[in-house]
Chain A
Amino acid sequence: MEPLTRRTLLRTGLLTAATAVAGTALLTGCGSNDRAQAPAAGGTPRRGGTLRAAFAGAGAGETLNHFVGGTALDMVRARALHATLGDLDPTAPDGVRYGVLEAIEVDAELRAYTLRLRRGLTFGDGSALTVRDVLWSLSSPADDPASLPVYKNPASTFDFAGARVEDDHTLVLPTLAPVADGRLLLCQGNYLVVKENSDFSPNVATSGPFRLVEFAPGEGCLLERNEEFSHQEPADAPYLDGLELRSLPDSEARAGALTGGQVDFAHDLSPVTARTLREDARFTVTSTEPPYVSGLFFRMNLAHEPFQDNRVRTAFKLAADRQAMVDSVFFGDATVGNDLLSPGFPDYAAQIEQRAFDPDQARRLLREAGADGMRVTLTTGPETPGMVEVATLYVENLVAVGVDARLEELPAGQLFADYPAYARLPLAASYSVPTPALPLYQMSYGGQNPAALGWDRPDVDELVATARGTSGAESAEAGLAAQRVLWEEGNTIAPVFKPFTTAHVPGVAGVADDLFAQFPGFSRATLS
């Protein structure tokens, strides 16, 4: 092979595109679709079997340390190996279904969270699982620059230095400021309990539904049922004898492995692949529902004229033909966005009216602002399926309202590669991962965050802090007010939320019961 050059990069990009197009032709078809993946069929779930599933991984650099490994495979493997604190569950009393925790109590001032651990939990080596392991699992990523931002996030809400271990089963976490949604923050499904001071080697004792048998970075891992895992309902789960997770970076390859009978479950399929598989009676295609959806959005840089003028920002929002994007790019299997992130989460302002597609009003506003005919380049890249296609349609929408808009598509992996350069773009594409609205605002939008491309509104920051720091009506009003400002004056156009689409053979059931739908778990899955 030749040394890495721009040509290699372009070739890689072309290859990806060509594979995407050509791979679809290889998928045979006629079909079934099942949006709400059925749980295990009635009666006693079948025990046994080894389920084979394909996910996007990171190659030979894959690691058992999920604090630094950001791929779907890393997260799914980690959730199989390590027990979770809890998962979001809108039907549960606290809005969460607890894992190793029995309960989370919040004091009246919203300044201290008491985490109560279930009794009798152990790691695979027989040692007791205590709140010291919980504390270490939550706090240690903040000290490691390489940790993913999502794992550093609790440190921006809780004062871990001031944490008190009252006994093996009780941990008190003070907050840095009053916080009402701490339960939602801690029980999102991605905070797992790792043995204190773990080095994440294959021999480390774990506490999840499965135990590691074999780990081959870049190829996959083989897991077996953890017979000691008994704290979840139903008590006889997990049902699978084993789980084989395979690393396949390409969506078409994952679909090919499924249709070729090499795996039973394929994760994160492109819209075209999903549509083809839906027409194939041999497979069941499942798409996640909000809140487990990913927003495709564009951000206007407030450092660039004329985006400082809210009439221009509003025109850019009104110009987006959201339904056409849902229909054309995702064949209807996506949700129209309302320029606010996190639909489906309890703190999302669902009561704000849906933004209309109004090109006439957009033209009028642009004329009023003296911005008709303005020139702008929208920069995007194939970072997630559908991202480039949605951007392409949006540029056409902008052209239709009189904007001299162009599209710049960067090769895969390049859009966010130089973040300071990204933050200087006048109009940039991005995507969101499912996170509650208010913590997401604080993580990536408020406080002059570079990711917000010039958004600097201390009044909105204050509203969000109030919403998170109070409860009941006061919290709801502040949250709604903050999101109202974002909707009216924000610099984000969020036209589409796409689901995470998976496909599996009919014998697979119970995956949806694991709740963390974007990165499916198998602790309740069965295979027949």
Chain B
Amino acid sequence: MSWGAFLLRRAVALALTLAALSTLVFWATELLPGDAVSAVAGPSATEAERAAVRAELGLDRDVLTRYLEWLGGALRGDLGTGYTGARPVAELIADRLPHSLLLAGLALLVTVPVSLLLGLLAGGRAGRRADRAVSAGVLLVAGLPEFVLATVLLWLLAAEAGLFPRVSLVPLGGGPLATPEILVLPVLTLAASGVAVGTRLVRAAAAEVAAAPWVEAARLRGVSGARLAARHVLPGALAPAVQAFGLVTGALVGGAIVVETVFGYPGIGLELQQAVAHRDIPLVQGIALVLCACTLVAVLLADVAARALDPRRGSRP
């Protein structure tokens, strides 16, 4: 298949998946208990006042009409207006998303090399002591919820050692990079989870490649250690590993909800948590859709990279 056909197919699949997810997002939020009228009108509102608010918010129209309107708006980049503060949802997301992408990006910068290193180490020595040690370690970290990891890091590195701030307060008038120390603990938390998942996936791919005949042949030629891993195992394991990192990236963006809340980092995850608490349905829908899109784009990019890196691609028809 040519690159053009491949990309077109993937782009269509992404669009269809996103359309399906948008439907799911809209209807899931519709099924949530409670409604925005109560959040806006307050507990003492009379039925007439509630009706006025319902009309004001456009909630007096049938759900299908509202869905089609929301979908049409989303296609034009208009995700509606948040109930809290009456700001356009797209603008609210544009404020917060870069903060979260920065966290996820930095976490990925840590995750990829560490996962590759540990995954190759374990996969290249499948069943041996190094593999058992690495696998047990990553299994332990993978089993810890992110908020536990975050709390442990807070305790060790902020409360006890005093190395980093406890709360990720972004300086007013400046971005997070103006005070990079606020990023360390959230990035470490996300990266620890990412490394745990990434290492296991790379390990599986590396173990399969390490058992391949050409690696065995190299071994018989006396190649071993880092050279064997870098020259013979890594090229074969890279394509599936890159695909794995696509999934890890999606998980990193999702993990931001927990990590940003624990550290008070003003990203899209903390925003979603607050939007749920305030029953700001348009904002919940918008953020959920954007996070789905981020994950799908990460997976698509990983697929493209995997195809480019696949050593067998040249021999395919």
A residues with a Cβ closer than 8 A to B are 1-5, 8-9, 11-12, 15-16, 18-19, 22-23, 25-26, 28, 58-63, 65, 68-69, 145-146, 148-149, 214, 216-222, 244, 246-250, 253, 256-257, 259-260, 262-263, 412-414, 416-422, 443-444, 449-451
Contacts and interface: CB of A to CB of B under 8 A. Distances in A.
Interface string B7-37: 0000000000000010011001100111101
Given A1-B291, A417-B33, A59 B274 contact: yes
A12 B276 contact: yes
Contacts of A148: 42
A361 B38 CA distance: 39
B33 A421 contact: yes
Interface residues of B, number: 79
Contacts of A16: 261
B232 to A, nearest CB: 38
B147 A15 contact: yes
A219 B172 contact: yes
26 contacts: A1-B254, A3-B288, A4-B25, A4-B28, A4-B285, A11-B257, A12-B273, A15-B262, A18-B148, A19-B147, A60-B266, A61-B84, A61-B92, A62-B84, A63-B85, A221-B172, A248-B264, A249-B261, A256-B167, A260-B158, A260-B166, A262-B165, A262-B166, A413-B278, A414-B33, A421-B33
A418 B50 CA distance: 11
A214 B172 contact: yes
A417 to B, nearest CB: 2
Interface in B26-61: 28-29, 32-35, 37-46, 49-50, 52-53, 56
A250 B273 CA distance: 11
Contacts of A65: 85
A250 B264 contact: yes
Contacts, number: 231
A22 B262 CA distance: 10
Contacts of B283: 61
Q: Is the interface of B mostly helix, strand, loop or mixed?
A: helix
B172 A4 contact: no
Contacts of A59: 84, 266, 270-271, 274-275, 278
Contacts of B266: 59-60, 218-219, 247
Residue of B35, B145, B167 contacting most chain A CB atoms (<10 Å): B167
Given A1-B291, A259-B159, 5 more contacts: A15-B258, A60-B87, A217-B92, A219-B170, A256-B167
B87 A22 contact: no
A18 B29 CA distance: 25
Contacts of A218: 95-96, 266, 270-271, 274
B39 A1 contact: no
B32 A58 contact: no
Contacts of A413: 276-279
Nearest to B162: A260
A220 B148 CA distance: 27
A419 B43 contact: yes
A352 B7 CA distance: 78
A16 B277 CA distance: 11
